Structure 1
Amino acid sequence: MEGQRLGGRYQLEARIGGGGMAIVYKAKDLVLNRPVAVKVLRSQFGTDDDFVTRFRREAQAVASLSHPNVVGVYDVGQDGDTHYMVMEYVEGYTLKELINRNGAIPVEDAVEIAAEICDALDHAHSNQIIHRDIKPHNILIGKNGRIKVTDFGIARAVTSTTITHTNSVLGSVHYFSPEQARGGITAEKSDIYSLGIVLYEMVTGKLPFSGESPISVALKHLQEPLPEPRQVNPEIPQSVENVILKALVKDPTYRYASAREMLEDLETCLLPERLHEEKIEFPVDDEATKAYPVITQEMLESQGRTIPPSRQEKETRKSRPWWMKTALWAGAIGLFFVLAFLGFNLVMELFPTVPETQVPDVVGHDGTVAEQEIRGAKLVPKVITEASNEVEKGIVIRQDPAPPMGLKENAVVTLYVSSGQEAIGMPNLINKVRTVAEEELKSKGFKITDATFVEKESDDVPAGQVINQFPPADQQVVPGATEVKIEVSKGRAMVDMPDVRTLPLEKARIELFKVGLLVDEAAIKAEPTYSTEKPNIVLGTHPYDPGMKVAKGTAIPITVSNGQFPADAKITTTPVYAELIDGEYDVPIKIVVSDARGDNMTVYEERINESRNFDIPIVLSPKKNATVKLYKNGASQPVFVTEVDYNSVQY
């Protein structure tokens, strides 16, 4: 849908994300001239009333919130069969990308991020909105460092009684609360549990529960004890671990009562007096999942209860003598011990005790070497290949389980080995603006360097848009291993405006053509001037002043003289007497005039052999009188000066 306009207002520029229900694009609001994020419901759901209702519910849910840590909703609409929602555009990256790139985050930063998320949840909960999908993927970090919670796509009012839709559980299984995993009622404390998982992942760089399938992970949330954060990262203060432990109690009764309570705990957990506080403890849940044995007669008798005997058994017992009962009991007991001994030996032969072994750490090792190490530990390697833009081909990306876990011998260890970077079709970036092209390349894993984008002059493509690209669009490339060159238009070439004032029009036309400029024939204007009586002398090129940078090919408007002085000009002459004294011969003289035509204009410069008179023409204006100076023998000071006042000349 890139390039499409929705509602006649929102121009879609580039895809920046997506989920199961919708795709998110960066777009431009053509009315307010600002970048926005537009979430578009996938086309296959556009005719599904239930999905449309959920999509609109998200808009209504977020639109009711106004908080600096919640992505705002600007508009919601429908264009044909396309349902869309317009949101605040946050330029930056997700918290998941930060964790994947850096691993564990410094505790101080993690606590600050969690506090901002908690503040957003407190605001949402006070408006009866539960997020239900808090995870690092839905936490945006702007370039200004501001934390924004987004994607209320499965949010629902607190009056809801289920979290299922078409028999599937909504949310992300690694961040599920136990009550979500059961498909039960979700409330504010489910968001608190999910935030606890996010904080756990931030300070340890790992998820507390993982498995080969979503069901196995959900069961761990329900049944397995939490791996304590300080066992993974001993640098975590006890006070911070206590916050995590309290947020992740399986019984919601013992969790924080509200997001506000958790926020207050986060704001104080790094105070010096709290760093080494006692570890928090919670009551043991006696109702946890157990395996109950089959009820036997002995178990009932130990509780003072028996299985009622039949009437025939009662009569038989009454007819037997006491010594027979004693013999039967002794024989039964002896037989029991013999059978128990034989059975124990048989079981030991059939099911010998399997020793445990430590799982070796093979992440980062060559796949073949890793398999040998796993076999050397008497375990069975299972290899799964997957593409990776970060890990070299043939190297182990991760393993499951990972150390320090121990396994029985011959247990399976799954190794995820990199198949190298995945080849994709080179995106078409031609005519896209530079920022959009750069974001699209980054989103697909291409490396951006100072040499990636090159500016180039273009007479056809507007400044800022892509002119050309290498590799070309649709060519199969490996993003992390492909050097990309993008030519971006910087508009038409710029030239220096030449000074063509005082030149005849035709000569000015030639001088402009030499540097790639034109004369705007329709804008040539003739007007009277004090400076000259000659017609078609260039007076000015406004607004393009001499020396200004002008786009090549620009048509320059020109003002020329019409061969006449202005109506208020006074034209006259003034006499100047050049006197030679006895003995002077071949004397150089110079007469300089300053009047309405200009300053310090030399009107006579010659050598004379005798004294003589000169009639000097002058032009006066209401704002400019005339001054005439006579210089002799190259002197710097005039030997004669005369001034003519405008008002002294009669017409």
Structure 2
Amino acid sequence: MDTTLQDPLLGQLLDGRYRVEARIAVGGMATVYRALDTRLDRVLALKVMHPSLAVDGSFVERFIREAKSAARLAHPNVVGVFDQGADGGYVYLAMEYVEGCTLRDLLRERGALQPRAALDILQAVLAALGAAHLDRLVHRDMKPENVLIGDDGRVKVADFGLVRAVGQQTSASTGSLLGTVSYLAPEQIEHGTADARADVYACGVMLYEMLTGAKPHSGDTPAQVLHQHLNEDVPAPSAAVPGLAGALDALVARTAARDPRRRPADAVELLAEVGAVRQALTDGQLDLLPPAAVGGGAGAGAVGPEDSTAVLSRRVPRDAAGADDSLNRTSVLPVPPVPPAGPAARTGRRMPRRSVQAVVVAVLLVLGAGLGVWYINSGQFTRTPGVLSMTESEAKRAVEEAGLDWKVAREHSETVPKGRVVSTDPGRGERIRSNGTVTLTVSRGPERVEVPGVKDASLADARRRIKAAGLEPGMVTREFSGDVERGSVIRTEPAAGTGRRPGAAVALVVSKGERIEVPGVVGEDEGTARQRLTEAGLKAEVAPERVFSEEEEGSVARQSPAQGSVAAEDDTVTLTVSKGPELVEVPGVEGLDESEARQALEDAGFEVRVRKVFITGTVFDQSVDGGERAPRGSEITIWVR
């Protein structure tokens, strides 16, 4: 039976907006669907957390962190996140839909890739990770399932759900690991820490897998694979692919070194190294067809960090068989007792100290587990029932039926509806004495802060009161107002009394004062102009330099803003004072013909008026004699006969 037919979300309208059309893939923590955004009429990918995890606050927090982290990384090789929300028990991310397949699908179809295609894909992945590392973010779950290859050949990195800031502790307090077994760096397993070099290690494992068609470490259980990560180097790919360039062996060895100090510091540094290795290889070395490759040749084309040609000979379905391989899924894993080396390994050499410690830990864990089973079965302890997302009354009844007492605490929650259980102490399934008390933390619903009323307050006072209310002052805009004093707040957006999430921004609209029409003062003397502007409620400022103009010397030649403009009270009008008309020397034009005289006077900056006595066209007189000075632009009359 096709299990997709049983998926309750197929055909549903999620959050009143996203119509779920088809299931793309199922992971350890979420299912990805193709959906239609009915509001914007576009196809996108909808990542929906498994309902069993959606009641766990820590997983929801991690899910929301993915949205925020991916949204920060506006990069062509990172899958974009458009929206995040919840609908009942479904918590979702709305993401960019990439038509194509995953690198896992491609490897399952091809077996192995030519070095050129492997390096093309790796460079695109490193371009995306480099942007994250420069922003001090670590992906922490790099694997072929999270590398998407579009039908156009573009490569994008997805699933930033485990992202953390560089240097933060990444293991759970319970001694668990979150990640994918086959790609965990040794320091993640040993110490639970991951920086950018953990992503580099995962890229080294992926490069080995692309070149050979197989993972460097394998086993029947996660513990066996983790043991190999800790105690065995990633082998040289040329051991599995004869003829592979030694430079590729060295690149894999450095990238997947067990000691993080021997790896490149981050994806940016590794991207530069990959580029250098690629430049050093010949076309023959780049186009070598691995023995494990299926249908290689021209089909395994090149892909680049941003725009690429397709690497697929045909599309591969993402939900292909084998997708439920537990070693390829993101999982919550107990930090396992690492098995000791076998008899062959013990012969002829001393067991490493780390392996000795692992054996001791394993023995102690086995003894501790046996004692724990005996202690629990003795009847003194039981397990906390699962009551997350139940109503308060349902949870109390379930706790009482388990023979336990309860007490109630309350807290705000953005994801759990009001009146339902957010968490319990002890947690679900944890050991508790048979007569113990379970603390039920019940949701108060989303925390909301009321926007304070700050109308008529000064801008500084309004900002202070908004911050005191637990909100943040936002953008300030200004409007004319005849009712509110200049510089005081007219209103807030959203309005006073509206409920907002703590820390949300509140925009402020501030008064520019009453609207004033600027009077015209051009042509008036400076003193009179100042007085008229002051009477209108404006300020006057005189420009330091005067200009020639038709206005009399000492009067206003021009003003800014101009007459009729709209200004606010106490706005400044700049006045430019006239030096009077500019006087220039008049050329003598008597004896010239009319056209020559006109040209000479106009070139000097004068207007010309012609009076004709006869029609011979020779100038015999002019209104201002040659050599005298007259205002530039004034009119000179010439008489022609």
User: TM-score, normalization: structure 1?
Assistant: 0.42
Q: State the structure with bigger RCO (CA 8 A, min sep 6), 1 or 2.
A: 2
User: TM-score, normalization: structure 2?
Assistant: 0.42
Q: Which has the larger radius of gyration?
A: 1
